[in-house]
Amino acid sequence: MEFIDFLLEDFFVTGQPLIYGAMVSIVLVSIAIVFVLSYFKKWGWLWREWLTTVDHKKIGIMYIIAALAMLFRGGVDALLMRTQLTLPGMEFLDSQHYNEIFTTHGTIMIIFMAMPFLIGLMNYIVPLQIGARDVAFPFLNALSFWSFAFGAMIFNLSFVIGGSPDAGWTSYTPMAGATLNPGPAQNYYLIGLQVSGIGTLATGINFIVTILKMRAPGMKMMRLPIFTWSTFITSIIIVFAFPILTVALALMTIDRIFGSHFFTLTGEGMPMMWANLFWLWGHPEVYIVILPAFGIFSEIISTFARKQLFGYKAMVYSMVVIAGLSFVVWVHHFFTMGAGGAVNSFFSITTMLIAVPTGVKIFNWLGTMYKGRIRFDTPMLWSLAFIPCFVIGGVTGVMLAMAAADYQYHNTYFLVAHFHYVLIAGTVFGCFAGLTYWYPKMFGHKMNEKLGKISFWFFVIGFNVCFFPMYFLGFAGMPRRTYTIEPEWMALNVTASIGAILMAIGFAVFVYNIYYSFRYSQRETHGDTWDGRALEWATTTPVPFYNFATVPKIEGPEAYWRMKENGRTTYEKEKVEPIHMPSDSGVPFVMMAFMFIASFGLIWEWIGIAIAGLIGVLACMVIRSFDYDDGFYVSVEEIKQTEKKAREGEQ
């Protein structure tokens, strides 16, 4: 009986019709998935082709699918919040529920949507752009993905089991500490982020080594496609920023579970230190999700303006400068903490300085279009919409950087408007642009242009209608994270909600487009869909698992553009040699499944289960250490057959 009481009162989240609905749909979807897989006898296929794969392309696709699912969840959260703020009197959500929703919205969008989406694109594209057959450490790459996937699962589990975290995605202490916030909810946040953070760090190392060591012969650093450059810089930021998050999360976990006093009110702990550590990681994190988007836009604008990128070197150096500055601006997130004139002045100025390299990039994109011949395909539309929207986000960012004025903007909808203008116009547009741009390479057919444009216009107009009014809400004194509003903020909130609905329609059309294109789009017969310039377009579509039959020698920037001029391909029959490829492995999946068990134990403070899970993780590491599997060779004959089949349509 006691056990059942526990299940009903503490374990499962009860009392919310919305959550019951979610539970039912989770159960139904799970049953449906199990049924479909069993009915079509696809379990073996799932295990062999996906769960154990170390192929960067498949891992990239899994990242993107997971990110889209998370975008859906975060988007539903956003719609629920907009509904509540439009009908504040209706008690659609109570304060507690609203708090949980904005917390999960923020966390999911940053950690489980933006980053995996971009990492998915990097995974698929970067090895192709540099002429490599995989990333440097394919096993580690699989491990990264599964750590993200299980981390996301842990975090999302809180929704139905134990309760969602409700301390905001920033989780400021002491509010998020054990005393003021008891129970497993906040632990889900800490452990979920920790587990997926491990994977992100590994991804960072992986890409640095890949880009440094696996480039095609002749591809000097200054000949790298700009998206690869942005990945490289992003990876550096990841490697040097994520350990800070790891430590911060660990410290709060130890505080909550083992009774230490880092961020507590008792024992002379220092709650502000959490904010400090969080933003030491958090600010570089912003650039982790924005630089790859910059890279995507650069590729697309250059391709569709049919011109070389304007100021390639300046583009690279500006990213380097942004990466450096990103580590010395974090205090602007808490100017109002009262650290005094010197601190606030210093961080005001460093923050504003970031506008300079960013401005350089904006003008270089405009320069790329100058004397170009611009086509307006969907990827280009997303990239073009990015420029004005991001400029609005950027200049308001400069306004926020002015500490004295920030005292009035801080914690208001002005801030909310700013970072959505930056993160949606930058990251989300970037993801959509990148996905539609590389979609034919990934799946062998384009996304439907007409639907793509419909979705684009709905989303972009909706985005502006939703977030532009929020600047004014900030001036009108509306604080963020409030579940109810004053009457004088009503009109603007209703406007914003209309915008949110338009965005939702845009997203729905986007997802429908995936289905529609799968059914009806014309299959690609040619690897070079958009008349591209970088090496990923040199392979056939679909890309063979070894990527390149022969790796071309690179003679300058824009490798593929040159190859087309010289009539060369990545298949030079006489030069084909056996290709060495890594073997698939189930260890990453199993290891992270054990990690999942360990995490679940830790979240509920069931230390026995946590230790058992941890032993499983360690055992997997030992197994891996003794694994001397050296991969396999693809025979010349197989390569020739594959290439012949793939290239039939081309001639």
Partner 1 sequence: MKNIYLRVKLWAALPALSLLLLVSGCGELTVLDPKGPVGESQKDLIIFSIILMLIIVAVVFIAFTYMIVKYRDRPGRDEKDYDPDHHGNTTLEIVWTVIPLIIVTALSIPTVITIYELEEAPEASSDKEPLVVYATTADWKWFFSYPEENIETVNYLHIPTDRAIEFRLSSADSMASLWIPALGGQKYNMAGMENTLYLQADEEGTYEGRNSNYNGSGFAEHTFEVHAENEEDFESWVEKVKNTAPELTQEEYDSLLAPGLEEELEFSSTHLDYVDHGTNEGRDYLIERHKDAFEEPLHLKGGRGAGDE
Partner 2 sequence: MSAHTDISTGPLEYRTQEGRMNILGFWIFLGAEVVLFSTLFATYAVLFGRTADAPVPADLFEMPMVLIMTFLLLTSSFTCGIAIHHMRRGSLKGLFVWLGITLALGLGFLGFEIYEFVHYAHEGASLPSSAFWSAFFVLTGTHGLHVLLGISWAVLILIQLRQRGLTPVTSRKVFIVGLYWHFLDVIWIFIFTSVYLIGMVV
Partner 3 sequence: MSELTKRIPKQHVVGFVGSIILTVAAAWAAVGSDLPTPWIITSIMVLAVIQAFIQLFMFMHMTETESGGIQAGNMLYGFFVAVVIVAGSIWTMSFGYTHDHGGGSDNDNETEEHEHMDH
Contacts of residue 396, defined as CB under 8 A and 6 or more positions apart, other chains included, come to 414, 417, 418, 421, 471
Residues 357-416 touching partner 1, rule: CB under 8 A, are 359-360, 362-364, 366-367, 369-376, 384, 387-388, 391-392, 395-396, 398-399, 402-408, 410-412
One-letter amino acid at 122 equals: M
* Options 114-122, 260-268, 471-479, 486-494: segment touching partner 2 (CB under 8 A): 260-268
For residues 633 and 581, is the Cβ–Cβ distance under 8 A? yes
Residue 268 binds partner 1, judged by CB under 8 A:
yes
Cα(186)–Cα(169) distance, rounded to whole angstroms? Answer: 10
- For the CB of residue 408, give the shortest distance to partner 3 in the complex, in Å: 21
Interacting residue with partner 3 among 23, 265, 273, 391 (CB under 8 A)? 273
Q: 476 exposed, middle or buried (CB, 10 Å; 0-12, 13-18, 19+)?
A: middle
Interacting residue with partner 2 among 93, 128, 244, 315 (CB under 8 A)? 244
Interacting residue with partner 2 among 176, 248, 503, 535 (CB under 8 A)? 248
Residues 305-344 touching partner 1, rule: CB under 8 A, are 305-314, 334, 336-338, 340-341, 344
Residue 244 binds partner 3, judged by CB under 8 A:
yes
- For the CB of residue 298, give the shortest distance to partner 1 in the complex, in Å: 13
Sketch the per residue contact string, 465 through 504, with partner 1: x for CB under 8 A, - otherwise: x--xx--x-xxxx-xxxxxx-x-xx-xx--x---------
Q: What backbone torsions phi and psi does residue 122 show, to the nearest 5 degrees?
A: -60, -45
* Options 131-139, 373-381, 424-432, 466-474: segment touching partner 2 (CB under 8 A): 131-139
328 binds, among partner 2, partner 3, partner 1, none (CB under 5 to 8 A by kind): partner 3
The dihedral through the CA atoms of 104, 110, 112, 114 has a sign that is positive
CB atoms within 10 A of CB 40: 9
Cα(479)–Cα(467) distance, rounded to whole angstroms? Answer: 15
End-to-end C-alpha distance for the chain, whole angstroms: 73
Cα(399)–Cα(352) distance, rounded to whole angstroms? Answer: 9
For residues 256 and 190, is the Cβ–Cβ distance under 8 A? yes
137 binds, among partner 1, partner 2, partner 3, none (CB under 5 to 8 A by kind): partner 2
- For the CB of residue 403, give the shortest distance to partner 3 in the complex, in Å: 13
Cα(279)–Cα(222) distance, rounded to whole angstroms? Answer: 32
Residue 206 binds partner 2, judged by CB under 8 A:
yes
Residues 318-377 touching partner 3, rule: CB under 8 A, are 327-328, 330-331, 337-340, 343
261 binds, among partner 1, partner 3, partner 2, none (CB under 5 to 8 A by kind): partner 2
Q: 574 exposed, middle or buried (CB, 10 Å; 0-12, 13-18, 19+)?
A: exposed
- For the CB of residue 476, give the shortest distance to partner 3 in the complex, in Å: 31
* Residue in the structure block whose two tokens are 């703020």: 85
CB atoms within 10 A of CB 375: 13
User: Which uninterrupted H or E stretch holds 633?
Assistant: strand 632-634
405 binds, among partner 3, partner 1, partner 2, none (CB under 5 to 8 A by kind): partner 1
Q: How wide is the angle at C-alpha 380 spanned by C-alphas 377 and 385, nearest 5°? A: 125
Q: Which residues bind partner 3 (CB under 8 A)?
A: 212-213, 236, 240, 244, 270, 272-273, 276-277, 280, 327-328, 330-331, 337-340, 343
Q: Which residues bind partner 2 (CB under 8 A)?
A: 133-134, 136-137, 201, 204-206, 208-209, 212-214, 239-244, 246-248, 250-251, 254-255, 258-262, 264, 267-270, 273, 276-277, 280, 579-582, 622, 625-626, 628, 630-631
